[in-house]
Structure 1
């Protein structure tokens, strides 16, 4: 006989046993099966059962005030929590900090991918995500308190490389959520903003002999759902619960938004312009790092402003914004809708998005920071006595091709005024963010350096860059005095070599014309040729080489002028204020090698930055090229003139011998 799987929430929750392992879906405030959480809470309050549950979840799923997984805080209900985020359930976090429950704070992507490992009957997951952070067994193994003693993260070596092995925890009960279900339990997601890990969670529970409970907003007749619309097949689902509208909101701030669900597309040209304040200054400066035609992830808080700046500067068509929750393209949502996107190109499962991120698919990410120290380590997971959790931060920050951390310089009452193209600190924040040592290491600066990962730290008053020697101050906002506004409010002294002013356009309340920078539209203006002296002048002052395509654009601009010259040329390159991503130095040297082989007689360059000179010399020497990198313009030109005289002396002799 065909079974009708539709039952009440109370009947479904009655199937949960003592000490079961329960997983639930949801991302921040979206896609939460609220009716199931409420029914579980109700059963426990009324009967004291079930007790001793293990809760497994990826991102936070609640409003931080008691909804979502926050309903599960009651003493005795939970005995263990494995989660990426504790901030959305502060009472559960407090219980963990007070050693009342065992707890692990694993990276969000790792938990997401472990669902698949469970579904496939695998013992766990190999990953480099978490190395050299608090997740690494050498630094705590992701345990959040002393009550937690079992090791579920192990350090292993494979072919001479370090990896982490995450042990899979078998799942007994999965709470998932969709829009429609037929009596057989086939689930569709047409009105959901995200699909998250519902399919993998259902498989993990089903293949372990557990149960899958799906919350939906409506029941449809058999045969109504088209096969390709079904995201979770009925063979995986044991129970279907129809929720009241209030218990099935798209998120806590929105009942339903068809644009977020991908049911319609809406015009976004009228997005409100951001006020020119500290937050916009940070977002504007970070936007200069956006890679052309790149894939980008933006974190919550200050980084969210980049989406608004990109829209204002009309560069949205040239980048693709994504969220770890699975949204690709469109305009990223904020507030209670964070994680979803208006007019998204597509929405994929969360574990698939983390596969893409972990494999190197992200060209850039901009993330927030709570603390930062002299080595470039960043903490966002536990600070100020609060267990917040890492969320997707570790997966994203470790695997993006370039990383920008963004946030105000201090916190707690900070007041900043941006006027007349300058920044003025009206009132300093009470707490420092740049500390002697981070409370917990969520991002390892030395590990990033060992992998040549470019890292910037952007604030409203200055910018730091991660170097082999630690944090270096590279830019200062107009109106800011280093001795008055920066150094007294840091617990360490950064490296200070040759800081330059932040781009003046950032502090003027008018469009920055960022599209020209992003697409290198004015790059040809930086290349000029002196025919009388046969010298090619290349002015890269202030230019930023973000991705390999930037080098391709530069090479084409140089080659175009050389071809018009009709002969091999001498070149002088100005690198003052020039920046290049750490992982592009060898590509830069390869470009120089190509130009020497085909268009140059000789080449020399100058840069006041000793660090830049050193990195260029190393890259050029590895290619067998003479570096010829000088500190002063005069020295570079003197070398070139000496080379030219030598060439003129040798040329007649060569001709005579011929």
Structure 2
């Protein structure tokens, strides 16, 4: 097995290559040393140029690291990813239509690369139907520079499906903890396993190459067979990076890798923002024992600080798309990592669990909601953010609880004398006549028999036969004055009850 420097690997990359990259979020399982070396070569020589990058879960620090390293004029031809939240440099190129940008569901990207590695004719799935990735809408194209149709509609046995087309992979860049001198790679000291095996397989079986960044290299035959995630047959060279961290600015931690269990649960701090706390408390009322549960980032994650959630820990099965089951799922820059997980799957296996309908309930965010009940989180105010795992999860879960501030992030409320008062309405109309993107299709949800709620700090809506129905208001809230007057469409009102007072008393 060749052991190379990062500069030697960077010199191997050719103009126009299609490169698949492992990693997610704030640098989890990311070959950052290799990405930096490729960037430095381009800045010095102007090569490699016109690259096409594929990464399922997006990598970045909101500044210069991760996929941001490819955001130089002429370096990037295009990208397939699921989100651009951590990559503002790329987001700017997309907004300016300077690169081909395709945003697809994260799970779909990983499952498609598995099909590429297996030599099959693409991914056939219902995930993405009637959302913006459906070719009858935009086919996932997020810039006018896009030249290719990546998705097509199929009819099989009287049902509609999407076929995501395969493509050739020239290079895979992956990350591991330890490798032996035959190239066998273990990720046992990483916080996630992700889809490293299938990226390597996609490159190898496409006639391309796979390079792995590794913290430590050991003698051949010293790694236990069950600890090997990627066999050496797929690897062309190793790059040793002793300073490699478990995430950006986060050194190796046995608690994050799953090597040790915390002695006691770390209780998530209560939310300090009243409006967000109300949403979290109300959402937590939807938890039931023995449910398989997903809690998304942002406002929904606040639910993990509620008493109701603490009561049910050990009685629900909590997971995240990066592969963790139970444990203390982390947020912010360590979203996707966990302490004390009971199991850690590959993210690809987790997406199979999700797309097959394994989740009972999911708590997700919402940027816009229209009169039909469609939800948008992927394009807001003209800026493409991407769906992440939202489509994979929302389209295939039995019950959905969307959580968000009624009029945006600058909403201010006050609770006193058993009444909620709106101090200031936010500047963002969240409930609109028509969303910029359809990331969740309500018509599909009704056909599939999904139960759907939309929870805000002042009101709760339900998806009815013909669209949204206002079913709850907070104590002191007037439906017409505080809710309907701030919506971009007429909404049916069937107020069956007030939002439970005990959730306000718990604040």
d(CA) in 2 for partners of 1:71, 1:422: 50
8 Å contact kept, 2:303–2:309: no
Deviation at 1:287, TM superposition (A): 1.2
Say whether residues 1:345 and 2:338 are aligned partners: no
Other-structure match for 2:383 = 386
3-state SS in 1 of match to 2:254: coil
Q: State the partner residue of 2:84.
A: 86
Residues 1:468 and 1:311: Cα distance change in structure 2 (over 3 Å): closer
* Residue equivalent to 1:255: 251
C-alpha distance 432-37 of structure 1, shift in aligned 2 (>3 A)? same
Q: CA deviation at 1:412?
A: 4.0
Task: Give the structure-2-normalised TM-score.
Answer: 0.97
Question: What are the within-5 Å matches in structure 2 for residues 29-68 of structure 1?
Answer: 29=26, 30-68=28-66
- What is the Cα deviation at residue 452 of structure 1? 1.6
Q: Is the 8 A contact 2:455 2:461 kept in 1?
A: yes
CA deviation after TM superposition for structure 1 residue 272, in Å:
4.4
Per the TM alignment, residue 274 of structure 1 is displaced from its structure 2 partner at its CA by: 0.8
SS of alignment partner, residue 183 of structure 2: coil
1:541-597 deviations in whole A, cap 9, x for unaligned? xxxxxxxxxxxxxxxxxxxxxxxxxxxxxxxxxxxxxxxxxxxxxxxxxxxxxxxxx
Q: Which residue of 1 aligns with 2:322?
A: 325
| 1:24 aligns to 2:6 (yes or no) | no
Distance (Å, rounded) in 2 between the aligned partners of 1:480 and 1:244? 58
Contact 1:419 1:507 in 2 (8 A): no
**Contact 2:284 / 2:308 at 8 angstroms: preserved in 1?**
no
Q: Would the aligned equivalents of 1:180 and 1:219 in 2 still touch at CA under 8 Å?
A: yes
Of 187, 194, 197, which aligns to 1:196? 194
Any residues of structure 2 matched to 1:449-464 within 5 Å, and which? 449-464=446-461
Give RMSD over aligned pairs: 1.5
**Residues 278 and 418 of structure 1 are in contact (CA less than 8 Å); yes or no, is this contact kept in structure 2?**
no
- Hey, what's the Cα distance between the residues in 1 that align with 2:401 and 2:279? 11
Residues 1:482 and 2:479 aligned together? yes
Deviation at 1:253, TM superposition (A): 4.6
User: Which residue number in structure 2 is paired with residue 636 of structure 1?
Assistant: none
How far has the Cα of 1:307 moved from its partner?
2.0
Of the three residues 145, 148, 151, the one matched with 2:146 is 148
Q: Distance in 2 between matches of 1:450 and 1:333?
A: 34
Give the Cα–Cα distance (whole angstroms) in 1 for the partners of residues 151 and 316 of structure 2. 36
Larger displacement relative to structure 2 (319-328 or 82-91): 82-91
After the TM superposition, which of the residue ranges 188-197 and 303-312 deviates more from structure 2?
303-312
Distance, in Å, in 2 between the alignment partners of 1:22 and 1:310 is 45
1:217-228 correspondence to structure 2 within 5 Å? 217-228=215-226
**Superposed, which structure 2 residues align to 1:167-178 within 5 Å?**
167-178=165-176
Alignment partner of 1:76 is 2:74: yes
Distance in 2 (alpha carbons) for counterparts of 1:84 and 1:249:
24
Work out whether residues 321 and 331 of structure 1, in 8 Å CA contact, stay in contact via their aligned partners in 2.
Answer: no
Using the alignment, how far apart are the partners of 1:16 and 1:275 within structure 2?
47
Aligned length: 505
Tell me, in whole angstroms, the C-alpha distance in 2 between the residues paired with 1:419 and 1:395.
Answer: 40
- 1:462 is displaced (CA, Å) by 0.7
The Cα shift of 1:149 comes to 3.2
User: Could you tell me how far apart the structure 1 residues matched to 2:303 and 2:179 are?
Assistant: 38
* 1:264 aligned residue: 260
Q: In the TM superposition, what is the alpha-carbon distance from 1:460 to its structure 2 partner?
A: 0.8
Match of 1:562 in 2: none
In the alignment, is the contact (CA less than 8 A) between 1:181 and 1:188 conserved in 2? yes
Q: Which has the higher contact order (CA 8 A, sep 6+)?
A: 2
Structure 1 residue 244, shift from structure 2 partner: 4.5
8 Å CA contact 1:323, 1:339 repeated in 2: yes
Please list, as runs of the form range in 1=range in 2, the aligned pairs for 1:611-630 lying within 5 A after superposition.
none
Is structure 2 residue 397 aligned with structure 1 residue 400?
A: yes
Query: How far is the alpha carbon of 1:41 from its aligned partner?
Result: 0.3
Please give the alpha-carbon distance, in whole angstroms, between the structure 2 residues aligned to 1:411 and 1:91: 25
Q: Tell me how far apart the structure 2 counterparts of residues 259 and 194 of structure 1 sit (CA, whole Å).
A: 12
The structure whose residues are more often helix, as a share, is: 1
Gapped regions of structure 2 (runs ≥ 5)? none
List aligned pairs for 1:115-154, cutoff 5 A.
115-154=113-152
Q: Deviations over 1:241-280 (max 9, x none)?
A: 11242xx222225223322210111134451441462222
1:407-422 maps to which residues of 2 (within 5 A)?
Answer: 407-422=404-419
Point out where structure 1 has 5 or more consecutive residues left out of the alignment: 511-658
Aligned-pair CA distance for 1:495 = 0.6
